[in-house]
Amino acid sequence: NAGDESDIEPDLMAMLRQPIFIAPTMRALDLLQEMRLKRLHLALVVDEYGGIDGLITIEDLVEEIVGEINDEHDDDAEPLMVTNTDGTITVEARVELDQLWDFAGIRFDDEEFEEIDTVGGLVATLAGRVPGRGEIIRHASGLEFEIIESHPRHISVIKIGGLERITTPGMRPATPSKKSAARSKKSA
């Protein structure tokens, strides 16, 4: 059967490209030029015995020359969490709920939020969609989540208010959650 997909096997040997092998002493600009000429994005660093010391990417080289480049794959060590003078808290949406609850000294009792990991996920769940900049999403406990920065597919920065009003059922003083207890055991 000429049209059968099993007859179409990729020729892996045709796809293979010879890597660049370099000495650890090669200058960054020389390597960058060679990588550009050969249209390769990585090189293998070999030691004096022919063993592999490491791998260097074109991004590594560019960062050595021009400084750190932040892209979608880079992650800051700790996400932003700041207490403002007015008593609100500004957080990056990627802050884990356990981190926020420990920081603010509160915790949701709602089982419906048990599967949510981040503040952004919580706010999107409360809203039923990804809210836009300037929107305020309210929770029955009195917490208000103001969207400071967002994009069409995700929230970036949130200001949390109403912390002083938390006296309603559904919120309680913080106690370690299952997730944070498990994380503590892993790091110990």
Q: Is residue 152's pLDDT more than 70?
A: yes
* CA 16 and chain centroid, separation: 32
Q: What is the pLDDT of residue 74?
A: 58
Q: What's the CA gap between 164 and 143, in Å, rounded?
A: 9
- Pick the more confident residue, 20 or 102: 20
Question: Measured in Å, how far apart are the chain's first and last C-alpha atoms?
Answer: 60
- Pick the more confident residue, 130 or 178: 130
pTM for the predicted model, two decimal places: 0.52
Q: Which of 183, 173, 131 is nearest to 156 (CA)?
A: 131
Q: What are the tens digits of pLDDT across the range 53-107?
A: 999 998 888 888 887 766 655 555 577 889 889 989 999 999 988 888 888 887 7
Q: What are the tens digits of pLDDT across the range 101-127?
A: 888 887 776 666 778 889 999 999 999
Residues making up the chain, counted from first to last? 188
**If you average pLDDT over residues 150-172, what whole number do you get?**
76
17 with 92, same domain: the answer is: no
Query: How many Cβ atoms sit within 10 Å of the Cβ of residue 67?
Result: 7
Counted domains in the chain: 2
**What amino acid is encoded at 92 in this protein?**
E
- State the alpha helices, DSSP H only, in the chain: 12-15, 28-38, 58-66, 97-104, 119-127, 178-187
| Ramachandran angles phi, psi of 88, nearest 5° | -80, 170
- Pick the more confident residue, 181 or 66: 66
**What amino acid is encoded at 16 in this protein?**
L
**If you average pLDDT over residues 8-31, what whole number do you get?**
87
124 with 149, same domain: the answer is: yes
Which of 16, 35, 66 is the endpoint of a domain?
66
Q: What is the pLDDT of residue 177?
A: 44
Evaluate whether residue 14 is within a structural domain: yes
Evaluate whether residue 187 is within a structural domain: no
Which residue bears the tokens 């103001």?
146
Strand bridging mode 42-46 / 20-22: parallel
Q: What is the pLDDT of residue 184?
A: 41
Domain that holds residue 62: 5-66
